[in-house]
Structure 1
Amino acid sequence: MLIATKPAAPELDAQAQLFFTETAGWISANWLKITIAVGMAALIVAVLLAVQKLAQRLCHEGDALVSWRTIIGRLAARTRFWFLVIVAARVVDGYAQAPQLLDQTIGFLFTIGLTFQAAIWAREVVLGVVEHRAGEAQNANGALSSAMGIIRALVTFLVFAIALVLILGNLGVNVAGLIAGLGIGGIAIGLAAQGIFSDLFAGISILFDRPFKVGDVISYDSSMGTVEQIGMRTTRIRAMTGELMIISNKNLLDKEIRNVTARDHIRLTFTLGVTYETPPETLARIPAILREMGEAEGAKVARAGFESFGASSLDFMFIIDITGSDWGIAHPTRDRLLVTIMQRFAAEGINLAYPTQTSYTAAPDGTLIMPYPEGGVADQR
């Protein structure tokens, strides 16, 4: 059985005719209010344009480091003229007492315009924040520029897809199928480029979390080197032995990273063994002697005391902290301190121990034969 349906064209024609009829009657009856409303709208647009120009002066596109002033300027620059016109029309719409169909049309256009303009603003804020954090992390070394195209495409697709779904939902369209399709497509793309996206998001994480920056010396796994470039997929580290290590960002973040440059002090540890023949009263003075020498070098003494009874020595632990992270200061301090310890111990009559062994022989009757004359010094070897 055939079911007859009425074409939609006559209904649209009737609505269009009603719209123009009501609008014409409204214009003829309210021409004075309409003139005042148009003037107010023009004034509002002029004011908004002036504010936009003023905000654009805050934008410093040439700066290596993207600041929040630049982001505000970009938002103003990306504000469309048609959006300003729609805003002005929406503001004066109530004063002019527009007919219902015209009021609904202005409201509909305002909703669409606001949604798309909000998507443009959201894109600029996200991209500006990424560039801002990247500029702080890398001081504009150019590593981000190669990946900004991918980031811009992903952010643009995401924000405008959301805007399209919101507009279609306001129009009464069932967007469940569209959302499902976008979700399935996104999952398929994500699975196909899982490695690329994992490194990309790891690079973004490094830029935002900033565990290290270009120029820092870091310890990665069993390697150590200076960070030369932080890319969106890889990080380049110059090893202490001269090689350039190129490590994927995901693998880099999966390991323990030690930022050597960010250390606030350098700890030097010395184990000093003195002979067992050292008198107890001298042993009691050694911690104070060590502390005095460490403080004389401007270091903070973390430990200076008797540690243990060794196999052939009485062991003292001497630990000092040197403020800062410059080994160019720590190494000479260590060298001077070692020489000072030797000099001071020699002056105090304190002998540093080293492994010794004494051999004894016996006569046929079992009597020990001393390896040195009575009252002499043992032959140590």
Structure 2
Amino acid sequence: MITAGLATSASFAALSFSPIPTVRDLGATLAIGVGVSLVAGVVLTRFLPTASADEVAAPPVPAPRRQTSRRVRLTVGAGVALVALAGWLLLPQLPLRADLQGFADGLPVINDAKHVEDVLGTGGEFTIALSGGGVATPEAMRWMTAAQEAIVAQEGDKLRPIVSPPSMMAFLGGEPTAEQVDAALRLLPPYLTGSVINADRSLAVLTFGTRLSDAEQLRELRDDVLAALPPPPPGMHVDLTGLPMLAVSAYEDVSSDRYLANILGIAAAGTVLAVGLRRRTDALIAVSSAGLATGLGLLVLWGTGAGLSPVTVALGSLTAAVGCEFAVLLAEAQRRANRDLAKAVLVAAAASATGYAVLVVSKLTVVVQFGLLLSLSVLLAFASAGFVVWLTRTSSSVLPLNREPSEIELVGVR
């Protein structure tokens, strides 16, 4: 159990590699929480009374049941594996919910924010930054004027000009000289000029207002803006910044690393189990069941059209975290023909799924979806663990429970 707990913590810790700060914090918090619970459980067991070997009545070994032929198990296993593989292959096609307001859905404050956005017509700042030597020159001013006119002409329904050097110094006319630009910057208050040109005149910004829509739409807007902008003056370059562009960057990072985000948690759990367990085959069973459950879960999401969020895009890591211990304990129960242990694993899975399902009472939609997905992951992990254990069952693997206590091997202890 200690090894399984460490594997769970490692899977949650794999979320710390997410490019989304919220997901990184969630992974670290869950990993620490599992670790603290594990330590608390170990400490508490030291103070609980334990029954002696003479007091423990060994349950009768059940009569041998007819084993399913290996050919049948391999056939069924191959079929289920192909279905799970289809889910893995569909991972890049699953829709990724990337609207910036999705994390706050369900809170009253989101309605206030939408009202403000409707009144102002914008919800975030889209900034075009021109950097290089001497942005307060006639050449740079002409470029910024042309860039602003091009953006307004082609993307005026999505971007609204807020402030820029050409608009702030419009009184200079269309062709200002270097002396006029320098005089205007000295004439205007620094708190105004500082919003468009920095102190050493190496950076100038054109700020537009835009709605904080879906990240995919913002990505299309970014590409359209880059295509519309004229080439910058020699020695200068252009960058697009602002909250919308940060959202696009995070979206692209999450979307491009889907397989890595899912495999990393499974690999972390498998590594911990392989190091900590006496039987390396149990680690392989756990990894196989996690991969199987993840593939089936992805297929369910594709079939229902539910899609993924930045939190649940790492379904593999979450599945390995909530279900790696199921495979280890079910494999041990099968070896010892211990139905009580198998029932205990079932109860633990039901309790875990119920605990995650309680998150549906949250006012945050993303938390509700996270809880439901974790509950589904627990159920799929338990079912997959049982299935993989059934596939790997051998007639010689059953150990009698009434042998001497000194012969009994502890789960997870080398």
Report the TM-score, using the length of structure 2 for normalisation: 0.21
Structure ranking higher in strand proportion: 1
Q: Which has the larger radius of gyration?
A: 1
Which has the bigger relative contact order, CA under 8 A and spacing at least 6?
2
Structure ranking higher in helix proportion: 2
Report the TM-score, using the length of structure 1 for normalisation: 0.23
